[in-house]
Amino acid sequence: MNYQNILYEIKNHTGLVTINRPDKLNALNNQTINEIEDVIKSIKSNPDIFIVVITGSGEKAFVAGADIAELNNLEVISAKEFSEKGNRVFRSIETLDKPVIAAVNGFALGGGCELALACHIRIASDNAKFGQPEVNLGIIPGYGGTQRLSRVINSARALEMILTGDMISADEAFRIGLVNKVYPQAELLNKTLELAEKIASKGQQAIRFALKAVKATDNMSLSEGLSYEASLFALTCGTEDFKEGTSAFLQKRKPDFKNR
Ligand code: COA
C-alpha cells in the first residue's frame, strides 16, 4: 500500500509510524485509519521489527481526533461501522505481540487520546494535551475511550475527562498515570527511540511473553493470570535466550541474545 497520510520507517528494529496530516492536526480520516491498519499488519509479519513507536507530524499535534468533516456525514448505520472499524484497528495495536509506544508530541484529543490509550506505553512532550472532547460535538468517544481510559486512570478521573470534554496538560497526565514520562518537545522522539532501543536490546522471546502475560490481566482473574504466567515463564526457560542470559550473568559478561 502506498501511504498518503502516514510516514513509516524502520530504525534499529523499531518501526516508526508518523501520522502525517499536519495541516489538519493529524486528524484521523478514513484513509488514515486504513493506512494504520495496513502498517500494523505489515509490522506484525516483519520479524526484523521488535518494537513500534507511533507519533504525529509537526510540533502541534499527535492526533487531534477523528476527522470532524467526515464525522459530520455519519448516520446511525455508518456510525456503527465507523466505530467498529476504529476499534478493530486500535485493538490490532493493543494486541500486537510487540510493544507499542506512543510518543505524544502535542494535542491527543478524541481518537488521538484513544490511539495513545491503545498503545502499551505513553511518553509525552511538555506541550502535549490530552482530552476526550466528544461531548462538545454531541457524541461520546467511539474508538475505545469509554473503555480504556478508566482502565488506565481511575474511573472518576476518566469520567471527569469524558463528561466535561476538558483537556489536561502533560504534567497532569503524568500525575494521574496517563503517561509514563514527560520530556521537552525537542527531546521527545530521541528519548522515546532510546527507550525503544533499550527494549529492543533484550531477548525478544522474553519481551513478547512478558507483554502477553501483562496484557492477559485485561481478561483473567488473578489465579488464572498466575497460572498463565507460570506457563509462559516455563516456555521462556526453553529458549536459547534464557541459556545465554543466565550464562552471561554467571560469566560476568553482556548477553548476546539471538532472539530464539
Ligand atoms: N478533524 C478535522 N479537522 C481538524 C480536526 C479534527 N479533529 N482538528 C483540527 N482540524 C483542522 C482545523 O479544522 C483546521 O483546518 P483548516 O486550517 O482547514 O481550517 C486545522 O486542523 C488547524 O486547526 P485549528 O482549529 O485552526 O487549530 P487551533 O490551534 O485553533 O485549535 C484544537 C487546535 C485542537 C483545539 C482544535 O483544532 C480542535 O478543537 N480540534 C478538534 C478536537 C476534537 O474535537 N477532536 C475530537 C473529534 S471526535
Mutate to test the pocket of ligand 1, among 25, 113, 132 (most ligand atoms within 8 A of CB): 25
**pTM of the full predicted structure?**
0.97
Pairing between β-strand 100-104 and β-strand 51-56 as defined by DSSP bridges? parallel
Which protein residue's CA is at the shortest distance from atom 45 of ligand 1? 65
Residue 170 cell numbers, joined: 502533560
For ligand 1, is residue 173 a contact (CB within 6 Å)?
no
For ligand 1, is residue 141 a contact (CB within 6 Å)?
no
Q: Sort residue 128 into left (φ over 0), alpha (ψ -120 to 50) or beta.
A: beta
Identify the DSSP state of 99: -
Which protein residue's CA is at the shortest distance from atom 15 of ligand 1? 24
Instruction: Report the pLDDT value the prediction gives residue 219, as an integer from 0 to 100.
Output: 87
What atom of ligand 1 comes closest to residue 133's alpha carbon?
A: 44
114 is catalytic: yes
Which protein residue's CA is at the shortest distance from atom 10 of ligand 1? 24
For ligand 1, is residue 107 a contact (CB within 6 Å)?
yes
- Measured in Å, how far apart are the chain's first and last C-alpha atoms? 31
Instruction: Report the pLDDT value the prediction gives residue 188, as an integer from 0 to 100.
Output: 98
Residue 9 cell numbers, joined: 520507517
Instruction: Report the pLDDT value the prediction gives residue 1, as an integer from 0 to 100.
Output: 86
Could you read off the pLDDT tens digit of each residue along the chain, which spans 260 residues?
899 999 999 999 999 999 999 999 999 999 999 999 999 999 999 999 999 999 999 999 999 999 999 999 999 999 999 999 999 999 999 999 999 999 999 999 999 999 999 999 999 999 999 999 999 999 999 999 999 999 999 999 999 999 999 999 999 999 999 999 999 999 999 999 999 999 999 999 999 999 999 999 888 999 999 999 999 999 999 999 999 999 999 999 999 999 88
Residue 138 cell numbers, joined: 454531541
194 burial class (0-12, 13-18, 19+ CB within 10 angstroms)?
exposed
Which protein residue's CA is at the shortest distance from atom 16 of ligand 1? 24
CA of 148 to the centre of ligand 1 (A): 23
Residue 194 cell numbers, joined: 532510546
Marked catalytic residue, from 35, 37, 114, 229: 114
For ligand 1, is residue 114 a contact (CB within 6 Å)?
no
For ligand 1, is residue 186 a contact (CB within 6 Å)?
no
Instruction: Report the pLDDT value the prediction gives residue 43, as an integer from 0 to 100.
Output: 98
35 is catalytic: no
Marked catalytic residue, from 59, 84, 94, 134: 134
What atom of ligand 1 comes closest to residue 141's alpha carbon?
A: 48
Alpha helices in the chain (DSSP H): 30-44, 68-71, 76-94, 111-118, 145-152, 155-164, 170-175, 185-200, 204-215, 222-236, 240-250
